[in-house]
Amino acid sequence: MITIALPKGRLAQQTVELLKRASLVDIDISEESRKLIIEDTQNSLRFLMVKPFDVPTYVEYGVADVGVVGKDVLLEMNKRVYELLDLKIGKCFVALAGPKGISEALLKKPDKTIATKFPNIAKEYFENVRGEDVKIIKLNGSVELAPILGLSDMIVDIVESGRTLKENGLEVYEKLYDISARLIANRASLKLKTQIDDIINRLERMIEE
Ligand SMILES: Nc1ncnc2c1ncn2[C@@H]1O[C@H](COP(=O)(O)OP(=O)(O)OP(=O)(O)O)[C@@H](O)[C@H]1O
Ligand SMILES: O=P(O)(O)OC[C@H]1O[C@H](OP(=O)(O)OP(=O)(O)O)[C@H](O)[C@@H]1O
């Protein structure tokens, strides 16, 4: 039995559709269901519906053999897991962003304050790429509010269509990382290598560039 940690939220439907296209799922994992453990005995699979940020933890501890998680979460959390495959779904990017029209002045400002859901990504970028020490304010959502309300100078956050930035008078200052969902595996689960290889092979055939 292979246990797969699936991300709840915006990635869930795209992931289930890909698993169905790859004939890995015969059962319905509908968004309405509140079940957190879904057995597919016919394919000897068990699905865990977990918060995206928790997927690497379930896989790292071996509670799940494989998982689907956004590259942003892997960059932020640095968990001891294998990254096996880019599933090419959930495409977006992590950006440095701030108020429209004043990026040049703000980027020259010393002692910047950065609001973000990704403190490690932000800290590493400013230290390693810009050689700057910055103050990080951790937020868990609606991060765009911070520069509008004076809580921070700028933000490091996910951008998909750019609509949230645009509708709030913000713009991308720097694109940091392209993001998509990745298939990850527990380092010890390679005892299941044959089944995991089969999952990879089936998914690879269905992944759309
Ligand atoms: N517009 C977007 N906003 C956030 N994540 C996105 C977006 N587009 C694609 N993604 C990808 O989807 C993954 C899951 O996003 P989702 O918003 O469902 O999770 P989350 O932000 O952890 O949930 P929550 O909003 O409940 O905290 C992200 O880790 C990212 O890789
Ligand atoms: O470029 P866009 O298409 O506008 O998408 C980017 C927005 O989507 C997410 O917001 P969401 O409300 O989903 O999550 P949050 O609670 O983390 O802000 C993300 O945090 C950005 O705010």
For residue range 112-135, what is the model confidence (pLDDT) as tens digits?
999 999 999 999 999 999 999 999
Pocket test for ligand 2, best of 72, 140, 157, 164 (most atoms within 8 A of CB): 164
Task: Select from 19, 119, 118, 6 the least CA-distant residue to 59.
Answer: 6
- Give the chain's domains with CATH numbers: 2-91+180-208 (3.40.190.10), 92-178 (3.40.190.10)
> Which residue has tokens 């560039």?
209
If you average pLDDT over residues 177-198, what whole number do you get? 86
The pLDDT of residue 189 is above 70? no
Q: Under a CB-based contact definition with an 8 Å cutoff, are residues 122 and 116 in contact?
A: yes
The pLDDT of residue 190 is above 70? no
Does the predicted TM-score (pTM) go above 0.90?
yes
- pLDDT bin (cut points 50, 70, 90) of residue 209 is low
The pLDDT of residue 164 is above 80? yes
Rounded to whole angstroms, the Cα distance separating 169 from 41 reads 51
- pLDDT bin (cut points 50, 70, 90) of residue 192 is confident
The residues that bridge with 183 in the sheet, in sequence order, are 68, 85
- The residues, ordered by sequence, that sit 6+ positions from 119 with a Cβ below 8 Å of its Cβ are 76, 136, 138
The pLDDT of residue 80 is above 80? yes
Ligand at shortest distance from the CA of 142: 2
- Ligand 2 neighbourhood includes 9 CB (under 6 angstroms): no
**Whole-number pLDDT of residue 60:** 95
Atom of ligand 2 nearest to the CA of 166: 4
The pLDDT of residue 32 is above 90? no
Task: Select from 133, 173, 169 the least CA-distant residue to 157.
Answer: 173
Q: Which two tokens stand for residue 99?
A: 């108020």
Q: Which residues line ligand 1 (CB under 6 A)?
A: 7, 9-11, 52-53, 70, 72-73, 90, 92, 141, 158, 160, 179
- pLDDT bin (cut points 50, 70, 90) of residue 66 is very high
Rounded to whole angstroms, the Cα distance separating 74 from 181 reads 10
Q: Under a CB-based contact definition with an 8 Å cutoff, are residues 132 and 112 in contact?
A: yes
The pLDDT of residue 23 is above 90? no
Atom of ligand 2 nearest to the CA of 143: 18
Ligand at shortest distance from the CA of 160: 2
**Residue whose CA is at the smallest distance from ligand 2 atom 16:** 141
**Whole-number pLDDT of residue 195:** 79
Ligand at shortest distance from the CA of 163: 2
- Ligand 2 neighbourhood includes 164 CB (under 6 angstroms): yes
The pLDDT of residue 197 is above 90? no
Query: Considering the chain, what is the average pLDDT of its residues?
Result: 93
Rounded to whole angstroms, the Cα distance separating 152 from 197 reads 46
Instruction: Indicate the residue type of 78.
Output: N
Ligand at shortest distance from the CA of 68: 1
Percentage of the chain exceeding pLDDT 90: 74
Residue 8 CA, ligand 2 centroid: distance in Å: 15
Candidate from 47-56, 119-128, 189-198 with smallest mean pLDDT: 189-198
Instruction: Specify the higher pLDDT residue, 187 or 89.
Output: 89
Rounded to whole angstroms, the Cα distance separating 10 from 20 reads 17
Angle at the Cα of 35 from the Cα atoms of 33 and 41, rounded to 5 degrees = 105
Instruction: Indicate the SS3 state at residue 63.
Output: coil
- pLDDT bin (cut points 50, 70, 90) of residue 194 is confident
Task: Select from 53, 66, 68, 122 the least CA-distant residue to 94.
Answer: 122
Angle at the Cα of 102 from the Cα atoms of 104 and 93, rounded to 5 degrees = 80
Residue 140 CA, ligand 2 centroid: distance in Å: 11
Rounded to whole angstroms, the Cα distance separating 154 from 100 reads 11
If you average pLDDT over residues 176-199, what whole number do you get? 86
